[in-house]
Amino acid sequence: MYHHPQKLRYFPHIYPRVYEMSSSMNAVKTLCCSFSSSGETKRLSTKPLLRSKSCKAKAFSSSSSSSQNGKTKAAATSTDKDETSLPFRAIPGGTPEDPSNARKGRNDGRPTYCPPSYAAMCMDAFGSVQDALNDGEKLLEVEFPAVPGEDADYKAASDVYIDANVQYALVIGSSLYEKLGKRVQICLPDGVEFRRAKKVFSNSLMMSEGVTLNTLDGKKQDASITGMFQKMSAGRGLRSGSADDEMDDDFENADVFIIVNVSCGELPDVEQFVKTTSGGRPIIMLNNQLDTLRADLGLFSFPPKSLHYDFLSYFKPVFYLRSRAYSRSITVSPFVVNYSGAVFREYPAPWQVMIKQSNGVLACIAEDEDRFTLGEAKEEMLIALGLSDPEGSFMKTARSGLVVNTWWEEEDDAEKSDAWRT
């Protein structure tokens, strides 16, 4: 399997004074000097965190030894906490306030990323989907935080999460029909969720031309005893259908399928849908948290790990934004440094590691043609902050442990495709 030999880092010009220090402790003290004795936060420097893309080569050639090493395999273990970012200064480049330093084309990574709204992020995702479809890709993954907040996912707000994903699918599906002329079916796991979504989003579906709802198994009507009683109470007797019902197994009119809100136990249904029903038509897995679902594979009563190697590995992430918040303990005041960032990818641009500033803007600190593992992304953030332990030191081994990647992040000959990494 092809693997890029070295991650490209942008951070050597971050606070040059930090990188002139001879020891990591001095670097920590330099970073922490922004915290006054009264607890108030001050700015560290007036220098921007990241130069524009045109300055990349010059900055990289003049970097310190931190940019000469290859990809770091270990990552410091940290504790997820509520975010309290370091006092980074706002940076120019790619923002609405200063578009002059924005990337030159879609093949370039973003210097910064800060979408003004979820509608804007959905359009960014649509742009990546459009490019991937034009390149002939069939199995696509789109992943971004469905609900605002560091920890607001399915576990924290399931109903909000489920409804939000259907709404995002409607936005992307409408754009696919309006701009590419492709009819879209949004596939939900089962008939229960289909009927609920049809009721909740009835008005949106009426206004979304070219977009319809469906289920993975094609069974939309409720054939249970409860459903029969509901029909009787509505004055419909035991009739099997009416003008308000939709026909089962009507997949012929779709050009693209968007699959949302599946669980780990329903992944075999997705595999069966792709192999028997889709007929080679493009499929978009939207906000299904595949990384989380992969971690459950192989556990008792869950599908086997081979599902990742044989099926999920074929899905190419075309728009991917996974944010994480961490904390790092240090030996000087303030003793705990909170930081956060994200792994980001916007096809056809490369994979990027972003670090989050106090103003909420994500700034690129590293990029590579291959996907960053979460451990590698955390290590890039620590190096950019000057908080990484020296390579080969006892503290680095003690913090990271022996296993630094999850089983599905490790390269394995059983993988049928490396599309999910590239």
Helix 158-180, helix 191-200: angle, nearest 10? 70
Rounded CA separation 139/259 (Å)? 11
Q: Which two tokens stand for residue 143?
A: 């992943």
Q: If you average pLDDT over every residue of the chain, what do you get?
A: 75
| Ranges 26-40, 152-166, 238-252, 382-396: which has the least confidence | 26-40
pLDDT digits (tens, 9 = 90+) for 260-285: 999 999 999 999 999 999 999 999 99
Closest C-alpha among 25, 87, 109, 42 to residue 365: 109
Confidence bin at 219 (pLDDT 50/70/90): confident
Under 8 Å between Cβ of 348 and 130: no
pLDDT digits (tens, 9 = 90+) for 110-146: 999 999 999 999 999 999 999 999 999 999 999 999 8
Q: According to the model, what pLDDT value does residue 363 have? A: 95
List, in order, residues 6 or more apart from 410 with CB less than 8 Å away: none
Under 8 Å between Cβ of 184 and 173: yes
Helix (H) or strand (E) holding 166: helix 158-180
Q: According to the model, what pLDDT value does residue 85 have? A: 35
Helix (H) or strand (E) holding 309: helix 306-310
Q: According to the model, what pLDDT value does residue 38 have? A: 35
Domain boundaries, the chain: 1-113+322-422
Greatest mean pLDDT range, 180-194, 209-223, 405-419: 180-194
Confidence bin at 158 (pLDDT 50/70/90): confident
The pTM of this model reads: 0.74
Q: Which two tokens stand for residue 154?
A: 């399915």
